[in-house]
Amino acid sequence: MSADPITIVIFVAVIALTLAITWWAGRRNRSAASHYVAGGQITGWQNGLAIVGDLLSASTFLGVAGLLALQGVYGFYLVAGGLVAFLLVLLLVAEPLRNLGRFTIADVLSSRFRSRGVRAVMAVNTLVVTIFYMIAQLVGAGVLIGLLIGIPYWVAVIVVGVLMAVYITVGGMLATTWIQIVKAVMLLGAMALLVVLTLARFGFDLGLMFRTVAETSATDLFARASGVMPGLELVSVAVAQVLGTAALPHILIRFFTVPDAKVARRSMSVALWILGLAFLAMPFIGYGAAALVGQVQIAQANSAGNLAAPQLAELLGGPVLFAVISAVAFATILAVVAGLVIAGSGAVAHDLYSSLFRRGQAGDAEQVKAGRIAAVAIAAVSIVLALGAQNTNIALLALMAVVVAASANVPVLVLLLFWPRFTTRSAITGISAGLVSSVVLVLVGPGVMGEAALFPLSYPTLVSVPIGFLGCWLGTVTSRPAPEKEASYEEMHVKAMTGRDTVDA
């Protein structure tokens, strides 16, 4: 596809808009708190929209539309799983996280354990998840931008990488949040437009639309095609989608940007409503593409169906709508990688550098500087890795991130909050067990080894999450019975439940 002038103009306008937001935020980005968590002053609606933006990544919008168009209901299971994941976040962790954390997930663990080892292990884990996820997004961005406006892969990766470094170093979390909000609104508007235009083609007759989908597609898109994926694999994917999405660091740190637990709660409520509506719109876009564009044309443009939504846009609204949808997808990529960089750089600069290496002695200005340097370093490393990974399957990289997040973060966060016997050692053994088992099982699974796989499931969550819990339990039973010099469970319990401090006895 060669670049249409109108496409170039709209892409440049999107970049200019994000840079304007960054410049505006940069003038307010002075302290460590404003750099890492936007000063904790984001409102419920703003944070809700930013969370929606984080979850509506390019792989969700473009990938799920393609899945629905080519493989049917499987794509619908994935978005429903994402919504259930966010319900669990609201019910179990959103408010305790807000009450206990400051800048990073490791802060939450440190609210109970003063141990430096716990912080280091959690920071490394955050970094692993973030880097895998980011390479997946960057490789996807490079391929996608190439398909949409015809520039070479390496140019696209470097442009996106440099832009994300600029967003974070200049604008910090405030810029990241507002870029995410603006993009979420644009994407939601674009999705609504696609749905209305699609329905208009069928005279707003849902029955007619679904009958047309059933008649024109090669397989039954509304039921699970038997033999596409074994039952156990489907269950494993679904569990990974729910637990992994609920534990992604760049989403969990959003709760540190709001002032208190009430606002955290409101932002999740906003996010769940909007996200649900957006996810319910996905079948109209995916099935609409199958019926109007045709499965053969979709598969020809991209075998995974990633261009189904832009193709549908071109058919419904010509080159202008194609350019708009493509530019919105591009904005989505920019916003999500910016969120990933801030999560990763927080782990490096706040946890590893300020808290461990400088033992909390770094001043405010030094912490901001460390955050900026870490952001540039992470962007640079990710660019290099993404350039080398052009032909890697991006679903596999995103899979690794989600499985590690589910296996290493879920057991530790749940037990930390709700199990009085949890200790420093439980946290370290639990995170390590979850991290190592999930990486190893993915490496020996069908995703990497294909036919020769030693382990039958591509998504090993059904095994690696229990291993994470087992690791925590082993750490607890081998801990010394004498209480260490740590904040008591009681102190943390009261703070998690109420958001208020108590004094030591």
Partner 1 sequence: MDDRPDDRREPRAAAVIATPAFTELVRSRRRFVLPATAAGFGAYLVIIVISGFTDALSGPALGVVSWTFVLTALVFPLVWLLTGLYVRRAQRWDELADEAFAEAARGSEVGR
Beta carbon of residue 241, minimum distance to partner 1 (angstroms, whole number): 10
Q: Which of 83, 174, 328, 472 touches partner 1 by CB under 8 A? A: 83
- Tokens 């706040």: give the residue: 350
Is 272 among the residues that bind partner 1 (CB under 8 A)? Answer: yes
The C-alpha atoms of residue 406 and residue 133 are separated, in whole angstroms, by 13
Beta carbon of residue 191, minimum distance to partner 1 (angstroms, whole number): 15
For partner 1, which is the closer residue by CB, 125 or 267? 267
The C-alpha atoms of residue 300 and residue 478 are separated, in whole angstroms, by 57
Is 207 among the residues that bind partner 1 (CB under 8 A)? Answer: yes
Torsion sign over Cα 36, 40, 43, 47: positive
Q: Which of 11, 61, 76, 167 touches partner 1 by CB under 8 A? A: 76
For partner 1, which is the closer residue by CB, 73 or 299? 73
The C-alpha atoms of residue 306 and residue 292 are separated, in whole angstroms, by 16
- 502 is written with which tokens? 């108590």
CB atoms near residue 222 (< 10 Å): 14
Beta carbon of residue 235, minimum distance to partner 1 (angstroms, whole number): 5
Is 242 among the residues that bind partner 1 (CB under 8 A)? Answer: yes
Q: Which of 118, 128, 134, 268 touches partner 1 by CB under 8 A? A: 268
Query: With b meaning 16 or more CB within 10 Å and e meaning fewer, what string describes 397-409?
Result: bbbbbbbbbbbbb
For partner 1, which is the closer residue by CB, 83 or 134? 83
Which ranges of 202-230 would DSSP assign to H, the alpha helix? 206-216
Q: Which of 213, 240, 323, 416 touches partner 1 by CB under 8 A? A: 213
> Interacting stretch for partner 1, rule CB under 8 A, among 156-164, 173-181, 259-267, 366-374?
259-267
Is 216 among the residues that bind partner 1 (CB under 8 A)? Answer: no
Residues in the interface with partner 1 (CB under 8 A) total 61
Beta carbon of residue 64, minimum distance to partner 1 (angstroms, whole number): 13
Is 218 among the residues that bind partner 1 (CB under 8 A)? Answer: no
For partner 1, which is the closer residue by CB, 167 or 459? 459
The C-alpha atoms of residue 310 and residue 479 are separated, in whole angstroms, by 56
* Region 472-501 residues binding partner 1, contact defined as CB under 8 A: 488, 490-491, 493-494, 497-501
Is 238 among the residues that bind partner 1 (CB under 8 A)? Answer: yes
Is 360 among the residues that bind partner 1 (CB under 8 A)? Answer: no
For partner 1, which is the closer residue by CB, 96 or 471? 96
Say if residues 1 and 311 touch (Cβ distance below 8 Å). Answer: no
- 3 is written with which tokens? 């670049």
Contact map string, positions 86 to 125, toward partner 1, x by CB under 8 A: xxx-xxx--x------------------------------
CA 5 distance to own-chain centroid: 32
For partner 1, which is the closer residue by CB, 50 or 272? 272
The C-alpha atoms of residue 99 and residue 7 are separated, in whole angstroms, by 45
Beta carbon of residue 223, minimum distance to partner 1 (angstroms, whole number): 4
Is 393 among the residues that bind partner 1 (CB under 8 A)? Answer: no
For partner 1, which is the closer residue by CB, 116 or 201? 201
CB atoms near residue 91 (< 10 Å): 10
- Distance, first Cα to last Cα, the chain: 69
Is 195 among the residues that bind partner 1 (CB under 8 A)? Answer: no
For partner 1, which is the closer residue by CB, 199 or 494? 494
CB atoms near residue 193 (< 10 Å): 16
Beta carbon of residue 280, minimum distance to partner 1 (angstroms, whole number): 6
Rounded to 10 degrees, what is the CA torsion of 307, 311, 312, 315? 180
Q: Which of 195, 199, 235, 444 touches partner 1 by CB under 8 A? A: 235
Say if residues 53 and 187 touch (Cβ distance below 8 Å). Answer: yes
Beta carbon of residue 35, minimum distance to partner 1 (angstroms, whole number): 21
Beta carbon of residue 259, minimum distance to partner 1 (angstroms, whole number): 8
The C-alpha atoms of residue 108 and residue 416 are separated, in whole angstroms, by 9
Beta carbon of residue 226, minimum distance to partner 1 (angstroms, whole number): 7
User: What 3-state DSSP class applies to 51?
Assistant: helix
- Contacts for 118-123: CB closer than 8 Å, 24+ residues apart: 118/424, 118/427, 118/428, 119/351, 119/355, 119/356, 120/351, 120/352, 120/356, 121/427, 121/428, 121/431, 121/432, 122/347, 122/351, 122/412, 122/427, 122/431, 123/347, 123/348, 123/351, 123/352, 123/356
User: Which residues of the chain form contacts with partner 1 (CB under 8 A)?
Assistant: 73, 76-77, 80-81, 83-84, 86-88, 90-92, 95, 207, 210-211, 213-214, 220, 222-224, 226, 229-235, 238-239, 242, 259-260, 262, 265-266, 268-269, 272-273, 276, 279-280, 283, 488, 490-491, 493-494, 497-505
